[in-house]
Structures are given as C-alpha cells and as structure tokens.
Amino acid sequence: MLVIEQHDDVQRLVFSSWRSRAAGYQVSTYAVRGVMIDSAFDDAGPELMAWIAANRPQGVIITHAHDDHGGNAERLAAAGVPLQMRPDTETQLRTPQRRGWHRCWTWGRMPLLQSPVIPFDADGLELIQAPGHAPDHHVVWDAERETLFAADLFLSVKVRVAHPVHREDVRQQIGTIRNILTRNPKRVFDAHRGLLQDGAVLLAAKANWIEETVGQIDRRIGDDWPDRAIVKEVFGGEPMLAYTSRGDFSHANFVASVRKTGASGGTA
Ligand SMILES: [Zn+2]
C-alpha cells in the first residue's frame, strides 16, 4: 500500500504491507530536488517502480543497507536507475546478511544487489555519515532548505531496545546526533514517522536520554552488576518485543551494546 503526502517541496511516500502493518510498521521514502531518498522494502517494489517510471527521478539515494531502506536496490539497479550510496552500504547489499525472524516476517524478502550500480551526484543534497543505528547509517542534508532527511537517526526519543545483528551502537548515537544537530535543521523528516514537529528538539532530547541511560548502565557495570539485573533496574524488565522478536530487539542488547563499547569512549 502506498500513501503519498506533500510537504511543500518534499513528497513523502509511505509504504506498508499487511504484514508490516500487523507488526506496527511502515516506512517512507522521500522525493526532493528530483531525487528519491531510500527504496523501501521488497514487497513495496511494484508500487515504488511504478512511481519511478511515472516521475523519472534523477536517481535514488540509499541511506543504509537495512531491508526497509535498501530492499529495492537490486530492482532499481537492474532497471538502470542511478543509485548513490556509500561503499560500505553497497558491500552489505551485495553480501548475504543474517536477518532476524522478526525482520523477515515484517519486511519480506531481501534480494541481494547483483546488478552494476550507475552512480550519480544529487545537486543540493549531501549524504552525511551518521553511525550508531548501524555502522553504515547515513542521513541526507539539504543545506539550502535547512532540511534533514534523518533516515533512522530518530525513530523515537526513547528507543530502549537495541539490535546486535545490525551492530547497533547506542553510545555512538549520542555523538552522531549532536554532530548532525550542529547544522541546525529547521525541518526533520524521519523514515518511519514522517515530518517531525520540533525535530531538532526531539533529536536533542533523544541524545540526552541515551546519554543519561548509558550513564546509569555504566555506573552499574562499574559496580559489577550482571546484565539481567541492570535491565530490571534501568528498564523495569523486557518488553513484549523482546519475546516476539526472539531476543533480536531487547533491553539486554541495549545493555550489551553499552558494555561492549566501554565507559571510556568505546572500543567499537
Ligand atoms: Zn535501519
């Protein structure tokens, strides 16, 4: 299913399938400056390609290799649509990845990128490294219009779960968000929630919340608490998602990410 919203110069394409809706998810791509940002998931492919054929964008930027952002990279490349992505994203899209049960069910297949990529430059749009959510995560910045296409940088203020298969690094997210905020975005578009009201304020709140939570976890790690006790004390136990995703998204992973990266600046 495709729902299209117009926000002045930006078109938001909201894609979902019955399975993603049942799991509570949708994902957006954005059309701006004659370019599309991200490619949604495989099941959205026919609707995405119909929009591409009708609107003929200069190319598609892929922010990171997750299945709900790069799920149509192969379809686009095979159709000769130019793509812009960083080399680490392209490498991941060309390499089979372990995907959790929850992601496979929500987003469907994840076809490997096999066709050659025709690169392109998007005038007025800058692809900026924003690691943390994933090592290859990027955001797109329109400096002239002070607009941030934040991909999965925000999601929500308190994302209390982390995902080890994606090599999510919660500590790294603090510096990444603050670095992006030095650009003073006036508009922030989230890949799942659309145009955020007071996006910069929300992003700052998120960085502060992660920093405070990581600090609480660091103190308990310093006092030799086991992870399970930390999860109980800091988060009040695990959410239902930890069970439905069979542990892929859990507070334990959040704590493990904090432990792995160390209190003194990180090792990852
Ligand atoms: Zn993602």
The verdict on residue 218 lying in a domain is: no
Ligand 1 centroid to 262 CA: how many Å? 23
What CATH number is associated with residue 14? Answer: 3.60.15.10
**Is pLDDT at 265 greater than 60 in this prediction?**
no
The verdict on residue 51 lying in a domain is: yes
Ligand 1 centroid to 64 CA: how many Å? 7
- State the pLDDT confidence band at 266, using cuts at 50, 70 and 90: very low
Ligand 1 centroid to 57 CA: how many Å? 23
DSSP strands (E only) in the chain: 2-7, 10-15, 27-32, 35-37, 60-61, 83-84, 126-129, 138-142, 147-149, 187-190, 194-196
The verdict on residue 106 lying in a domain is: yes
The verdict on residue 257 lying in a domain is: no
The verdict on residue 172 lying in a domain is: no
Q: Each residue of 102-141: pLDDT tens digit? A: 889 999 999 999 999 999 999 999 999 999 999 999 999 9
Q: Each residue of 65-96: pLDDT tens digit? A: 999 999 999 999 999 999 999 999 999 999 99
- State the pLDDT confidence band at 166, using cuts at 50, 70 and 90: low
Ligand 1 centroid to 136 CA: how many Å? 10
**Is pLDDT at 210 greater than 70 in this prediction?**
yes
- The number of domains in the chain is 1
Residue 87's domain spans which residues? Answer: 1-123
DSSP β-bridge partners for residue 194: 190
The verdict on residue 4 lying in a domain is: yes
- State the pLDDT confidence band at 168, using cuts at 50, 70 and 90: confident
DSSP β-bridge partners for residue 12: 5, 30
Ligand 1 centroid to 133 CA: how many Å? 7
**Is pLDDT at 8 greater than 80 in this prediction?**
yes
Q: Each residue of 212-230: pLDDT tens digit? A: 999 999 999 999 999 999 9
User: What is the rounded CA–CA span in Å between residue 239 and residue 162?
Assistant: 12
